[in-house]
Structure formats: C-alpha cells, structure tokens
Copies of this chain bind each other. A is one copy, B any other.
C-alpha cells in the first residue's frame, strides 16, 4: 500500500526500507535533499516539498510524520492546509499524548484523521521489527493494518504465550491501544518501565562490581564508615561475564541484558562512557501520570532521579546537607579530589 514518509532520519529511513522490502510504495520527504536522494536510490518516490508529497499520494492519503518532537506541530499545521477529508496523519515520534488530543481535535473539523503511534525498537528495528502502540479511531487504524503488520516484528522467534486465546494483533507486535493519545500513552509508560529495568540492571551490576570493596584499603576517619566485615567483600567478579550468563535461562533474561552484555564485551570497564544519562521526556511524563493517577511508582521515579543525579542535578541539595552537617556537628567535608570511598 502507499505511504508518505516525512522525516528521513534514522528511524524514518529505516521504516521506509522495511516497508519497501515488503512491497509497499513510499513517497518520501525530508528537509535534507540528500536524505531524499539516498532513499530514492533505494526505490522510494522522492518529493521535494510537502505539497509535492501530498500531490504524489492517492486519496485517502496516509502520511507518517517522523520528525523531532519540536517540529511535529509545525508539520501537522502545514499538512492540515494541504490535505483532504479522510486523509490521515500518523505521528510516529515520541509526542506527549496530551498533544495528540489537541492535534486530533484540531484536525477533526477538516475530516482529517490523526493516528498516534509509539514506536519502540531503536536502531535495531529495521531487521528486528518495531513494536507499535497505536491510538486513533477504529476505521483509520484498521485501514492502515498492512502498514502496521509490515513494520511490526510479527510472531517471530518468540513463543506463543501459553494459554493465550485472544487472537488479535498484539502477538504480532502491534496493538491498537485505544482512542487518540492511547498509543503514545502506552509508549510513554513503556519507556518508564524501560528506565526502571535499566536502573535495576545497572544497580545490580554495580553491587557485583563493588564486591571487592573489602580488598581496598580504607581511610579510617570520623567521616568514613569503616567496612565492618571486609572478609565478606573479597570478590573480583567479571561483570561482563555475569551479564552474559544472565542472558540464558535466568529470570532476568531480557533484551536490555543482551545489550548490556554486548556493551561490556566491547568495553569491559565502560571507560568510553562518562555516565551522564539523558532523559528524553517519556520518563518524566510517566512519573507525572503516576502522580496524577495516585499510583505509587517508587521504582520508575527512582530511576528517573538516578538520571538527574548522573548529570549532577543534585548538587545544590547536597550542599544544603553538607551545610547542615557543618552547623550541627562541625563536620568538614572531605575534599572532592579524595574520594570518600572508591567508586
């Protein structure tokens, strides 16, 4: 089937490739002409403007918008002027689901459909397929089924869920989650869960890495807690091997552990990383949703905060604590260049 793709960055380009491999026709546009040319060379139909893109699509048109979050609204605004009733705009990026509600309401009077799709899979999706979480009206989501089916992983290697009789598309890796915003809502929470899982693995490996703390000499002073039983912490364990062994047969087996094993295989000390962990919106929004719903979410919140602290956003509060300690106990800070204990 025919699809227009706006935005040919890594994700957009790979979606086009995956669709073309399955025989779909893709008309493509990007602000960078060379990105258009590259995909045209692979068989896509190039368009040098949004207007041309729209012209080259037969109605009812389906346009997938895959641009940075800051450009989605502008693109939707422009498309609103170009499109006809029953055309559909698919937002496949990481938009806030509340913006989906606004955009769908904006487009509704013109008869233009809006579909929000959370797309998970990262740089591996071209071959592995992308997990799709979809929000929108039934009819338009149904109409796009051939697109979803191609982009999604399909049943693949994963064994069927025992006892599952529900049928449906979830077992193919895509799901119509509900009305507008539901797709991005589920994707938002997916990323919150991802934050929590990542932090759990990272904490665990750090505890294993530091199982040698009893082997290290410790400063003895009033500002450092001495290790009570150093004989319990005499292990020098290879964390790369631990990540590898957890990949098979263990309860924590997961794609994130697979990736961790790969990263540690390439760089066992992770010395190429500084440890400044970005957060990209979904984790924050998940926490806000939990708070507004009244759902306790200590794990996801702690994992978001760990990212903040990794970027030193805890500096002022730490100074406040040092200042209090100085006041009540005359405690002087240990200088920053002499770590209180090894990391």
Contact = CB atoms under 8 A, between A and B. Distances in A.
A316 B270 contact: yes
A74 interface: no
Contacts of A182: 211, 235, 237
Contact of A249 (B130, B193, B209, B284): B130
B236 A178 contact: yes
A204 B300 contact: yes
Contacts of A199: 196, 298-299, 317, 321
A109 interface: no
Contact of A320 (B174, B253, B260): B260
Interface string A309-335: 111111111111111111111110111
How many chain copies?
Answer: 4
A38 interface: no
A323 B276 contact: no
A256 B154 CA distance: 20
A186 B206 contact: no
A14 B103 CA distance: 48
Given A178-B235, A209-B316, A323-B273, A247 B120 contact: no
B316 A305 contact: no
| Residue among A186, A284, A319 with most chain B CB within 10 A | A319
A333 B314 CA distance: 19
B206 A120 contact: no
Interface string A146-171: 00000011111111011111101111
A139 B309 CA distance: 40
A68 interface: yes
| Residue among A274, A277, A313 with most chain B CB within 10 A | A277
A291 B284 contact: yes
B193 A340 contact: no
Interface in A198-249: 198-211, 213, 220, 222-229, 231-238, 240-242, 244-249
Interface stretch (A24-32, A47-55, A84-92, A261-269): A261-269
A301 interface: yes
Contacts of A326: 263, 273
B245 A316 contact: no
